[in-house]
């Protein structure tokens, strides 16, 4: 009797061990990153994003994800890369739009929220000196996002007829070669810096030497009042039913959001200076007013050739009016003043007003 029980215990222990090994193996075999992958559960993604101040996350479209396949980049394409790009900034500032347009360029690949700096800081050995692996990982992220529909607008955004997908262009793919590759994870990059400045600088240096090409940082700035209001609406899960006559009111949360936003602004500006980033600043308002001219300027700064038809597509897909979220939220005169005083401290924001 006793022996039977012992055998049973041994059998169950062996089974548990096999199970753990199988889980470990499949995780190792399927994932490119330790911190967060597009296949992670919505809860895990959402917790990671939330800690970076990004609340709304999209989950992969299961149907479109099913047929997912990925062919690694041929080595001549890896060799053709001559610039690397990442985003710095704030959640809900409009950098997704810029990144989605760049990814639609036939020779540009931009991963969608891969959170490269967070992952690199966590596991330095993963990418350091592994150029081909780094580029393939980012290409896979871009490809996966396009195929699984991660750039699709959702909820309120979609209702306004607005999506970040440009189906007939090159999101998730390329043609011929790749001249520019990178990652878009605006809010999360500065988070790495806020947590540990030295680590950020060390990751940035490793990235520069691993990529072996010029590295650029795009900084998208939006009217602070709109950016703060949109962050508040997202954080509080407010639906788009609010409007200029029925504004959303949460003064305490708004006060906290203002503080959090300017902490981010200060860390982004400090980060660009301390790490000596090669930064390109884009004002969301200029982009909406003049998408073609702004994109042309970005292309020039990145030394990427942009065709007339590409610029035309950008112009056609950009919504004609900037969303003035600040008017969907109730402000007190005191809070408007607080923002005004903070804007005055930063030359890059100086032309933004509440009115
Ligand atoms: C590509 O990305 C997807 C989604 O994150 C992941 O499931 C898949 O394992 C990756 N493929 C490779 C070859 O890394
Ligand atoms: C998946 O691929 C198969 C064959 O390649 C195709 O018949 C099927 O329609 C695809 N399914 C989806 C959801 O795209
Ligand atoms: C604002 O929303 C309220 C409540 O949903 C609605 O009754 C009102 O007509 C809306 N006003 C405008 C200007 O859209
Ligand atoms: C955009 O704004 C302008 C001026 O504020 C207005 O005249 C126009 O109707 C708006 N267009 C759309 C599509 O909302």
The atom number, within ligand 3, closest to the CA of 243 reads: 1
Domains present along the chain, CATH in parentheses:
31-56+80-349 (3.40.50)
Ligand 3 centroid, distance to 240 Cα (angstroms): 11
Q: Can you give the pLDDT at residue 64? A: 65
> Does residue 281 register a pLDDT over 60?
yes
Q: Can you give the pLDDT at residue 23? A: 44
Q: What does the pLDDT average to over 170-191? A: 91
Q: How confident is the model at residue 166 (pLDDT cuts 50, 70, 90)?
A: confident
54 or 277: whose pLDDT is higher? Answer: 277
Ligand 4 atom 2 nearest Cα: 321
Cβ–ligand 4 contact at 69 (below 6 Å): no
Helices (H), the chain: 2-30, 42-51, 62-66, 75-80, 95-103, 116-122, 124-127, 131-148, 155-159, 186-195, 197-211, 224-235, 251-274, 284-289, 291-302, 308-317, 333-344
Q: Can you give the pLDDT at residue 2? A: 58
Ligand 1 centroid, distance to 284 Cα (angstroms): 32
Instruction: Note the pLDDT tens digit of each residue in 219-242.
Output: 999 999 999 999 999 888 887 667
How many Å apart are CA 343 and CA 338, to the nearest integer? 9
State the virtual CA torsion across 54, 96, 131, 35 in degrees, nearest 10.
20
Cβ–ligand 4 contact at 320 (below 6 Å): yes
Q: Can you give the pLDDT at residue 63? A: 66
Q: Can you give the pLDDT at residue 1? A: 55
Ligand 3 centroid, distance to 243 Cα (angstroms): 6
Mean of the per-residue pLDDT values for the chain? 83
Ligand 4 atom 9 nearest Cα: 321
> Does residue 65 register a pLDDT over 60?
yes
Name the closest ligand to CA 241: 3
Cβ–ligand 3 contact at 240 (below 6 Å): no
Ligand 1 centroid, distance to 179 Cα (angstroms): 22
Taking residue 74's Cβ as centre, other Cβ atoms within 10 Å add up to 10
Cβ–ligand 4 contact at 168 (below 6 Å): no
Q: Can you give the pLDDT at residue 91? A: 84
Q: Can you give the pLDDT at residue 121? A: 93
Running DSSP on this structure, what letter comes out for residue 316? H
| Percentage above 70 pLDDT, the chain | 81
Give Cβ neighbours of residue 127 (< 8 Å, ≥ 6 apart).
116, 119, 120, 133, 134, 137, 206, 207, 210
Cβ–ligand 2 contact at 61 (below 6 Å): no
The atom number, within ligand 2, closest to the CA of 63 reads: 13
Q: Can you give the pLDDT at residue 28? A: 30
The pTM for the full model equals 0.79
Q: How confident is the model at residue 149 (pLDDT cuts 50, 70, 90)?
A: confident
> Does residue 253 register a pLDDT over 90?
yes
Q: How confident is the model at residue 54 (pLDDT cuts 50, 70, 90)?
A: very low
Ligand 2 centroid, distance to 326 Cα (angstroms): 44
Q: What does the pLDDT average to over 348-355? A: 94
Cβ–ligand 3 contact at 245 (below 6 Å): yes
Q: Can you give the pLDDT at residue 145? A: 84
Cβ–ligand 4 contact at 161 (below 6 Å): no
Maximum average pLDDT range among 28-42, 109-123, 340-354: 340-354
Give Cβ neighbours of residue 72 (< 8 Å, ≥ 6 apart).
136
Instruction: Note the pLDDT tens digit of each residue in 10-52.
Output: 777 776 665 554 443 333 322 222 344 444 454 554 444 444 3
β-pair type (84-88, 180-184): parallel
Q: Can you give the pLDDT at residue 48? A: 45
> Does residue 163 register a pLDDT over 90?
no
Name the closest ligand to CA 321: 4
Cβ–ligand 2 contact at 66 (below 6 Å): yes
Ligand 2 centroid, distance to 67 Cα (angstroms): 6
Q: How confident is the model at residue 146 (pLDDT cuts 50, 70, 90)?
A: confident
Q: What does the pLDDT average to over 48-61? A: 45
Q: What does the pLDDT average to over 186-201? A: 90
Helix (H) or strand (E) holding 280: strand 279-283
Which residues sit with their C-beta closer than 6 Å to ligand 1? 30, 32, 37-39, 70, 140, 144
Ligand 4 centroid, distance to 153 Cα (angstroms): 22
Ligand 3 centroid, distance to 207 Cα (angstroms): 50
Q: Can you give the pLDDT at residue 295? A: 96
Q: What does the pLDDT average to over 135-151? A: 87
């Amino acid at each position: 009797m006793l022996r039977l029980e012992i055998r049973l215990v041994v059998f169950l222990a062996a089974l548990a061990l096999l199970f753990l090994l199988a889980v470990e193996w499949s995780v190792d075999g399927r994932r490119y990153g330790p911190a967060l992958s597009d296949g992670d559960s919505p809860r895990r993604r959402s917790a990671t994003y939330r800690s970076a101040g990004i609340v709304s996350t999209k989950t992969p479209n299961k149907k479109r994800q099913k047929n997912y396949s990925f062919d690694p980049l041929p080595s001549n394409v890896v060799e053709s890369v001559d610039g690397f790009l990442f985003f710095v900034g704030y959640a809900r500032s409009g950098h997704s739009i810029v990144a989605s347009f760049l990814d639609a360029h036939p020779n540009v690949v931009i991963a969608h929220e891969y959170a490269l700096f967070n992952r690199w800081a966590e596991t330095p050995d993963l990418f350091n000196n592994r150029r081909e692996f780094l580029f393939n990982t980012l290409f896979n992220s871009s490809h996966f996002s396009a195929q699984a529909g991660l750039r699709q607008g959702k909820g309120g955004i979609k209702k306004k007829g607005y999506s970040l997908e440009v189906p007939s262009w090159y999101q998730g793919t390329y043609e011929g070669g790749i001249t520019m590759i990178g990652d878009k994870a605006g809010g999360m990059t500065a988070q790495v810096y806020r947590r540990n400045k030295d680590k950020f600088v060390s990751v940035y240096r490793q990235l520069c030497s691993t990529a072996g090409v010029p590295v650029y940082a795009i900084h998208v700035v939006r009217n602070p009042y709109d950016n703060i209001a949109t962050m508040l609406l997202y954080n509080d899960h407010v639906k788009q039913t609010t409007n200029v006559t029925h504004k959303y009111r949460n003064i305490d949360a708004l006060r906290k959001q203002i503080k959090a936003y300017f902490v981010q602004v200060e860390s982004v500006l400090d980060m660009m200076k301390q790490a000596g980033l090669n930064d390109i600043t884009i004002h969301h308002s200029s982009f909406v007013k003049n998408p073609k001219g702004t994109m042309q300027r970005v292309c020039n700064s990145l030394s990427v050739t942009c065709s007339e038809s590409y610029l035309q597509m950008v112009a056609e897909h950009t919504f004609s009016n900037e969303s003035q979220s600040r008017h969907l939220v109730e402000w007190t005169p005191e809070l408007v003043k607080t923002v005004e005083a903070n804007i005055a401290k930063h030359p890059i924001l100086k032309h933004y007003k509440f009115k």
